[in-house]
Structure 1
Amino acid sequence: MDLYSTTPMLKIAKANKHGIVAFNVHSFDSIFWVLEAAAELKSPVILQTTVGTIQSLGAKNIVEVAQAAAQHYQVPTGLHLDHCTDFEIIKDAIRAGYTSVMIDASMHPFAENVARTQRVVELATSLGVNVEAELGKVGGVEDDIIVDEADAEKADPEECRQFVAATGVPTLAPAIGTAHGIYKGKPEIDFERIAEIAKMVDVPLVLHGGSAVPEEDVRRCVALGMAKVNVSTELKNIYSEAIREHFAHDPDSLDPRAYLQKAKEAAKEMVKTKIRIVGSENTVAPLFA
């Protein structure tokens, strides 16, 4: 099974008022257990990597493993490069076989963000590759992109309309009060802003900073038009904590098959929980049609 462009995946999700979760994967084995969990729930899914993961594993290697896993589990799968600021890395990812890329020029003035996004859209959409861009500034840490809480800025709805019209970008990630990483308190999500943006643009919206957002808040975001929900830190943490717990209870059990299996099962349960929250369970049929 080939990897899917996330453009039709997210359009279908938006039309049917459910979400699709994009799970950050940091190792080859995580690709398999994310897809195994998605297949068990008959849900489409998006595998997502940072620039750092590409530098660690290699874009072509990631694509080949993702294709093999998608073929094995027979589940509609997109492969997305998240928060990339470098046009050359985006080109390399597309050349390797990524089906979605994010150009993050949100740290630049509006006109510069438009220009950089237009350049990627012109390259990617002609090849059937989805493009995601950001307006406003989502706080927190994503690889080497650090946005202090004081510098985080929510997206302006009118600017969102102008941005989508000017760039033709197929998916938009507006900053609406979430942050990358695990929250110290309850996130202050601006639901009214999401609703207003959704009325002004006719493209699927993306919720960044989806880790540890309360379930009811995620459901509300999806209902308002957030078709893609990103989850990274929470999944990475539960996987690592399962390994740490294994050695805390049995420090002499050094067989990787033992502790990695425990980590896999813990992570799979979280993947399933997130899939159920966004409502994508049993929604593969439209993509196979």
Structure 2
Amino acid sequence: MALQTGLEILQAAQAGKYGVGAFNTDNLETTLAIMEAAEETRSPILLAITAGALKYSSKRIVDIALAEARNATVPVAVHLDHGESFEICMWCIRNGFTSIMIDKSHEDEATNIRETRRVVDAASAVGVSVEAEIGRLVELGAEVIISEENATLTTAEEAERFMAAAGADTLAIAVGTAHGPNKGRGRPEINHKRIAEIAARVSQPLVMHGASSIPQDVVARVIDAGGVLKDAVGIHDDDITQAIASGMCKVNVGTDLRIASTAGVRELLRDKPEIIDLRKILEPARNEMRRVIINKMNLLQSSGKA
């Protein structure tokens, strides 16, 4: 199946009222786990590569992702996650990405609009879709404070205004999630009313960043095998389901894969310290990531949609 743009995949999700996972990959094992899960569940996906992953492996991770995507029998977009500049977005377009994110959410609105529009104009000319972001996700480990809510979360008014001016294809919004393994204290509070309000005023597919669930059984396994994951907490499955029902189409997952792979490797090295074959060391990481991804695809209801 040919590579698709992020917009093509997410428009189908929007029409079908299901979510699509954007899974972060840094290396071969993670990419294979994502693709194997997608093929097994018949799920469309976005293979997401961050600027950090590009710095780690340069074009090698792009070549791996593109090769796997082109050989896939399910819809796949190769996506730049959190592109911080026009230059990196253009590099990704030139090197085969079919979906890019320009993230200027930390800038003032005028700058965000201007820089997003600049990327949109270039990307649309070659058929690449663009994701933008407004609002600020909670900082790592921070708790959502009600008095700060309006300063942190995206409003329907600004989302509508931004999309009309910037012309992006999809929009990442801040609704109470956070990046990393520490998303708050207790169960993070997701503002589902805000999601529905924005979906009512923005026709483009909406994106939820920082949506890892941080399964507590996997966290316990990491700790039992000698790891440290203090106060690790994620987004509840019910909140993901409700967010999709309210209008979310793309759900970003990265930390869950890191925790799952860490559990697999730590347990193997604890139980079989004689193993030095890197393939055998990384195999449980790949298997654990695949298991977590399949569970997420079933939760998002993307299974069987390819």
- Counterpart for residue 275 of structure 2: 253
The alpha-carbon distance between structure 1 residues 234 and 221, as it changes in their structure 2 partners (threshold 3 A), is same
- Counterpart for residue 22 of structure 1: 22
Structure 1 ranges of 4+ moved more than 6 A: 146-152
Aligned counterpart for 1:220 among listed residues 231, 237, 242: 242
Map 1:65-76 onto structure 2 (within 5 A). 65-76=64-75
TM-superposition CA deviations, 1:148-198 (whole Å, max 9, x none):
967871011101001111111110011111100123421111000000000
- Counterpart for residue 206 of structure 1: 207
Distance apart, 1:200 and its partner CA? 0.4
- Counterpart for residue 164 of structure 1: 163
**Is 1:276 matched up with 2:291?**
no
**Is 1:106 matched up with 2:105?**
yes
Residue 233 of structure 1 aligns with an amino acid whose one-letter code is: T
Residue 43 of structure 2 aligns with an amino acid whose one-letter code is: S
The 3-state SS of whatever aligns with 1:46 is strand
The 3-state SS of whatever aligns with 2:18 is coil
TM-superposition CA deviations, 1:66-123 (whole Å, max 9, x none):
2321244422111111112211111101110111111111111111111111111101
Distance apart, 1:256 and its partner CA? 1.9
Distance apart, 1:147 and its partner CA? 9.0
- Bigger mean CA deviation after superposition, 70-79 or 207-216: 70-79
- Are the counterparts in 1 of residues 132 and 172 from structure 2 also a CA contact under 8 Å? yes
- Alignment partners' CA distance in 1, 2:156 and 2:278: 49
The 3-state SS of whatever aligns with 1:22 is strand
Distance apart, 1:139 and its partner CA? 2.2
Number of residue-to-residue matches in the alignment: 279
Residue 123 of structure 1 aligns with an amino acid whose one-letter code is: A
Taking only aligned residues, the RMSD between alpha carbons, in angstroms, comes to: 1.8
- Alignment partners' CA distance in 1, 2:69 and 2:11: 20
- Alignment partners' CA distance in 2, 1:138 and 1:68: 33
- Bigger mean CA deviation after superposition, 150-159 or 168-177: 150-159
Query: Normalised by the size of structure 2, how large is the TM-score?
Result: 0.87
The 3-state SS of whatever aligns with 1:127 is coil
- Are the counterparts in 2 of residues 35 and 75 from structure 1 also a CA contact under 8 Å? no
Percent identity of paired positions between Structure 1 and Structure 2: 39
Q: Which runs of 5+ in 2 are unaligned?
A: 214-234
**Is 1:192 matched up with 2:214?**
no
Aligned counterpart for 1:242 among listed residues 256, 264, 283: 264
- Alignment partners' CA distance in 2, 1:75 and 1:240: 28
Residue 181 of structure 1 aligns with an amino acid whose one-letter code is: G
- Alignment partners' CA distance in 1, 2:82 and 2:66: 22
Q: Which runs of 5+ in 1 are unaligned?
A: 285-289
